[in-house]
Structure 1
Amino acid sequence: MTQTDIFHYPPELFELLIETIPLLNRSKKSVILFFRGAGVPEKLLKDISDKIETDKDSINKFEIARTILTRVNEKTDTYIRERRELLKRIVEFESFTNCWESDQYKAKGLVAEIRNIVNVKDTFTRMKHEKENEQAKHTAEYNKKVEKIKERAELIEKNKKEFYSLFGISNPHERGKKLESVLNSLFSIFGILVREAFTLKGDNGEGIIEQIDGVIEIDNQIYLVEMKWKKDKIGGEDIFAHLGRIYHRTGAQGIFISASGFSDSGIIASKEALINKAILVLTDLEEFINVLDNDKDLLQYLKTKIRKAIIDKDPYTKP
Structure 2
Amino acid sequence: MAESDPSKRIAPAAIQSLKEALTYAYWYKSDLQSFLTHTVSDSTILARLDWGDYKRNIVAKLVDHLAQNEHIYQRQLLRLMTETANITDFNHLARLDDGAEKVQKAEAAVAALRNQVKGHGDIVAEEKNVERRRAETHQKLMALAAVKEHIEQLKQEYFALLGSDNPQQRGYKLEKILRELFEVFDLDPKASFRIEGEQIDGAFTFEATDYLLEAKWQAEPVSAKHLDGMAGKLSRKLDNTLGLYLSINGFSEDGVKAHSSGRRMLILMDGSDLMAVLEGRIDLIQLLLRKRREASQTGNIYLGIHEILTGKHS
Higher relative CO (CA 8 A, sep ≥ 6), structure 1 or 2?
2
TM-score, with length taken from structure 1: 0.49
TM-score, with length taken from structure 2: 0.50
Report the structure number with the largest CA radius of gyration: 1
